[in-house]
Amino acid sequence: MKITRVLTYPVDPGFGVGWLFVKIETDAEISGWGECLPDKAHIQAEAVRSFEQYLIGQDPRRITHHWQSMYRGSFWRGGAALTAAISGIEIALWDILGKSLGVPIWQLLGGAVRDRIRVYQHLRGNTNEELAANAKKQVASGYDAMKFCPLPKMRPIEGPRLVKEVVERVQAAREAVGDSVDIALDFHGRATPAMAIVLEEAMRPYSPLFIEEPVLPENVDALAQVVKQFKTPLATGERLFTKWGFREVLEKGAASILQPDPCVCGGIFETRQIGAMGEVYYAALAPHNPYGPINLAASLQIAAISPNFLIQELVDEDRLGGGCLVTPFVVENGSIALPTAPGLGVEVDEAFLAAHPLSLQRDHGRWLHEGDGSVADW
């Protein structure tokens, strides 16, 4: 079996986001699908195509060899863009291998350790009342876990008024759903270590499942400083990539929950290896995925085989593949059944992709502080 073509599909699914899919075709008439980080999707697509000359004519089943060749094949290794491109390609290669053998990917990686994969949705609401009402709706639809960012724009040091407002949002969500529902909080790296410590202490009465990116992950010593003051589990990893990006976090005890993203960190096997590293340090695995349904499919394969898996991110049910997958995923009682079809277990509707191209670069814009116009962390 040989690779004959590598295609990229920047997709606009129609609800204000962009996705980047990768399709790898072979001479055996077996194709595999992957997904890449969609930020600057057209640049990412070019990064994928930069590997096309190497991949054409290769046996797609030599997945580890190709990963090593792509990652180590130039003097300047890694970085977010190239690692994300490798991730999308690697996911597609696993899809081909599974399809060629007629088994799901999890069967090739040691077999499943669970029958269902627990998921959480993002919780939204402009006011505390909206937040509470939406939390109740999610519970009524079967979810027993949710996540939201309670923080606005933040300066390095904030006073008691902001702290009080933030804590009231967390309180509103907790009081709406009670203690039987898990509520995770995403600080999105907006707080400094000093403020993260103040906020976490104020939120403890509402028992967050975890606090994600309380500070930016660029300084692992800062994460380690924060975690020593926290009573709430600290999660990080969405902006890290490859096993090397997670090594220092684990060695310094800077997080108890790892959140690698398969379409960013290096793909399916790299995510599995990061999870295995975390297992040695008694860290849980909660794969990051605010992106599309192919990355969700890859995450489910990893969740199926990982003993230390905690929970899977699902922004909302628009990400289950309605429209772009022939058979979208289904959430029942807050979980998704173990996929059993070969490869990733999904069939992509290419007509949908052709009808929904991402024609313009998406830009989140810039978040600026009122008053002085200085840049705030988004």
**Catalytic residue numbers, as ranges:** 188, 288
Say if residues 331 and 139 touch (Cβ distance below 8 Å).
no
Q: Give the pLDDT confidence of 31-85 residue by residue, as tens digits.
A: 999 999 998 899 999 999 999 999 999 999 999 999 999 999 988 888 889 999 9
Confidence of residue 339 (pLDDT cuts 50, 70, 90): very high
In the predicted model, is pLDDT for residue 122 greater than 70?
yes
Q: How far apart are CA 238 and CA 241, in angstroms?
A: 8
Confidence (pLDDT) at 372: 87
In the predicted model, is pLDDT for residue 321 greater than 80?
yes
Confidence of residue 360 (pLDDT cuts 50, 70, 90): low
Say if residues 227 and 250 touch (Cβ distance below 8 Å).
no
Q: Give the pLDDT confidence of 163-184 residue by residue, as tens digits.
A: 999 999 999 999 999 999 999 9
Domain definitions of the chain by residue range: 3-103, 107-341
Say if residues 57 and 3 touch (Cβ distance below 8 Å).
yes
Confidence of residue 377 (pLDDT cuts 50, 70, 90): confident
Q: Could you tell me which of 253, 143, 260, 151 has the C-alpha nearest to residue 195? A: 151
Q: How far apart are CA 336 and CA 311, in angstroms?
A: 11
The sign of the dihedral angle between the CA atoms of 97, 99, 100, 101 is: positive
Q: Give the pLDDT confidence of 128-145 residue by residue, as tens digits.
A: 999 999 999 999 999 999
H helix or E strand, kind and range, residue 147: strand 145-148
CATH value of 3-103 in 1.10.260.40, 3.90.870.10, 3.90.920.10, 3.30.390.10? 3.30.390.10
* More confident position, 369 or 167: 167
> Mean of the per-residue pLDDT values for the chain?
96
The sign of the dihedral angle between the CA atoms of 132, 134, 140, 143 is: negative
Q: Give the pLDDT confidence of 268-282 residue by residue, as tens digits.
A: 999 999 999 999 999
Q: Give the pLDDT confidence of 73-98 residue by residue, as tens digits.
A: 988 888 889 999 999 999 999 999 99
Q: Report the CATH architecture of 107-341.
A: Alpha-Beta Barrel (3.20)
| DSSP 8-class letter at 319 | G
Confidence (pLDDT) at 364: 62
In the predicted model, is pLDDT for residue 327 greater than 70?
yes
Confidence (pLDDT) at 362: 61
Q: How far apart are CA 184 and CA 181, in angstroms?
A: 10
How much is the average pLDDT of 201-209?
A: 98
Q: How far apart are CA 19 and CA 6, in angstroms?
A: 17
How much is the average pLDDT of 317-343?
A: 96
Q: How far apart are CA 271 and CA 10, in angstroms?
A: 23
Confidence (pLDDT) at 371: 81
Q: Which residues have a Cβ under 8 Å from the Cβ of 108 and sit 6 or more positions away?
A: 94, 97, 98, 101
Confidence (pLDDT) at 363: 64
Strands (E), 200-291: 211-212, 234-236, 257-258, 284-285
Say if residues 182 and 232 touch (Cβ distance below 8 Å).
no
The amino acid occupying position 96 is I
Q: What is the pTM of this model?
A: 0.96
Q: Could you tell me which of 100, 1, 81, 73 has the C-alpha nearest to residue 39? A: 81
Name the token pair of 38.
């969609």
